[in-house]
Amino acid sequence: MSPPAIEIVVTDIGNHTVNDESTEDGKVWLEAFRAAAEGVPGIRRACYAMSDRDPNIAMHFIDYQSHKQHNTHKDTDFGGSGIAPDLKHIMNPKGTDLYVIYPHTPDRHVLYAPEVHVVFYFGIDDAKFSELAPEWFTSIEKSDSCVGYIWGEIQPPAREDSRGNMRLGKGGVMISGWRSKEEHDRDVNKPRVREAYEAMDAAVKRKDTWGMQVNVMENSGYYHKWRRLTQTNRDNFLLAAGTHSHTL
């Protein structure tokens, strides 16, 4: 039986205005994800986001019921490519990476969080990773503002690997959800999380971290998009009594 799979894409879109749905780029982009979510067998949700770090980088998360359905979609509709025909004028093939993971959990609520962070690991040393990763995962999971995470190893071969990451060896991806960017930044700078993240350098040849807000198109036609209405400083934000359950 083919396992559930999430396709993760990192792509250079240059100055295309895909996150502005009033522009031609934005309309084409949104329609491509709507059509995928509602029309492609096996897709449960098609998600995209713009990088907080680089305005020219967009990311995709396509949630498939099975890896087999992912492969059928790419081979049949994309001719084996990782880039949708309707988006080839936006996504630069020389700046696109496409990876597939088998998520460790069936839960996808992480993708709906107000802030999502993705950490890629490449060139994993299995022995060192097994030793160091549990503390890293635990430090994230027990952070006050973390709502959960998804982990999966990258399944070779990668359909698109413009940056040559998979030449370094085994890869993995951690997708974590957070209640806000401000609370994420506060929590990951606490000693336990920071030290666990830095310790992972000994277990991998390369790691890469991205932050974003994810837009979700479900196969039911439901469209979820976060929009910030204020620039509230949450440094002194206090939780209601009884809701603060995790400590580092």
Domains of the chain, each with CATH number or no CATH = 5-224 (3.30.70.100)
pLDDT at 46 over 60: yes
| β-bridge mates for residue 210, sequence order | 118
Q: What is the predicted pLDDT for the residue at 244?
A: 30
What is the band of 14 on the pLDDT scale with cuts at 50, 70, 90? very high
Residue 153 contacts residue 100 (beta carbons within 8 Å): no
In this prediction, residue 227 carries a pLDDT of: 78
In angstroms, what CA-CA distances link 150 with 82, 125, 140, 216, 225?
Answer: 22, 20, 11, 16, 20
pLDDT at 7 over 80: yes
Count Cβ neighbours within 10 Å for each residue of 196-219 and write b for 16 or more, e otherwise: bbeebeebbbbbeebbbbbbbbbb
pLDDT digits (tens, 9 = 90+) for 94-141: 999 999 999 999 999 999 999 999 999 999 999 999 999 999 999 999
The DSSP symbol for 219 reads: T
Whether the ω angle into residue 156 lies within 30 degrees of 0, i.e. cis, is no
pLDDT band (50, 70, 90) for residue 230: low
Please say if the pLDDT value at position 248 is more than 50. no
Confidence tier at 246 by pLDDT (50, 70, 90): very low
Question: Model confidence at 218, in pLDDT bands (50, 70, 90)?
Answer: very high
Tokens (6 digits) for 144? 């006050």
Q: Looking at residue 124, what is its pLDDT?
A: 98
